[in-house]
Structure 1
Amino acid sequence: MTPVQDKVTEAFEIVGAARPARWLITCDHATNRVPDWVSGGDLGLPAADMARHIAYDPGAAGVARALGDLLDAPVVLSRFSRLVMDPNRGEDDPTLLMRLYDGTVIPANRAADADERGRRLDRLYRPYHAAIDALAQRHPDTVIVAIHSFTPQLRARPPRPWHIGVLFDEADPALSHALIAQLQAEGDLVVGANQPYSGHLPGDSIDRHALQAGRANTLIEIRNDLIDGPAAQSLWAARLAPLLQTALTQAEGGRDA
């Protein structure tokens, strides 16, 4: 197998490809970037909307990078907005290319036809997932940790009380259950189990790279107002790293990460 190297493309960034840990950190919604070949680099939304959670997961990329450093693990980050195409959806999911999100119409996507959808799949979505595939194959027992963030409140919805959520599928909940217990034991966090969203969708990133391959996994959602700068992102990563290590040891019955 050809060694995977650090790389920046229009679809993804790989950081720390040579790091030895079993852990693999992913960040599906790392950026609000729109490639210039997609509607001239403008989806037709004002800057304020592109800065919202609808376009990316604010703060998640910083947490993912810092967590990779602390766990000595590679990190794969997307380099295109979720509004261009959502890498955390299966290829046949109707929300793969969003036309309306949290009350906002995405003008450049309203007329996107099958050819445009295929172009975005080929140039962005598929290369991103290929990068994750390549790194996941470095170890026979890779552990995937997906880092996301969520907005404190959707429009016309009640505030979300959780500081952090851990998402899992009942097909393989062991690491997530152990991590939830570790987070709850901290004593100062409101922890959501499959909150603010429920589990996973068929064909999403965890399903594709972890569940279908039999890899240990968890998906972490941090409320984005808690990670709104580099210092806060580093603090959360420093908090999560030892909890993840302990949770993995517990999930695997005492085996070291």
Structure 2
Amino acid sequence: MELAPGVGYAVTTRHGGAGAAPYDTRNLGGAVGDDPETVRRNRELTAREFGLAPERVVYMRQVHSPDIAYVTEPFGAEPPALDGIVTDRAGLGLAVLVADCGPVLLADPVARLVGAAHSGRVGTVAGVVPALVESMAARGGDPARMVALVGPMACGRCYEVPEQMRAEAAAALPELFGTTRQGTPAIDVRTGITAQLARAGVGDIRQDARCTIEDPDFFSYRRDHTTGRFAGYVWLTD
């Protein structure tokens, strides 16, 4: 699928790979306790399904930070600790691993730039998504031309938190304030990310509004605790 002309993207589910419970079957996360060889096979299978060379996919060591890196090749066996990546290299896949946090994919098809960010509660408060927009703009991107996809994540009607946590998050970003279906305190990460993208001037903001807690097609840490990770991918096709 195309996110914009010349830009491919995909969001995986937990189905279609190899692996045993509780990581069944397409776990792409390498730091969740799954067999490393199974993860390697799943990553290779998934890349090939999207027309990407497995050795040309960039994974991060995600730590809920606002840190962004420009990349021209994969990091190798020891990725740095960061939560956003940008490239202008065709055929280089950018991957963000999630299981309730938000995968955010960005593209400026005119400047030939794509970016990916891991934005959960902590990263959203820290501003990883605005930092990604700024990083792309610093390389010639125009937020008004950018297309964003905000992927599947824990929705604001399911992401229950203590009242103090909601208050602290909303003090930093008011749009994070949420309430569950039961009327208890929640955090609405999707609405927070969307507000950040809009304030950054991103011209086209799209939603894959599926909730990872509700939808068994996705891995969900809050639902299952020990579980795998699915991924959002973005790349320049030519």
With the length of structure 2 as denominator, give the TM-score of the two structures. 0.31
Structure with the greater alpha carbon radius of gyration: 1
Q: Which has the higher strand share?
A: 2
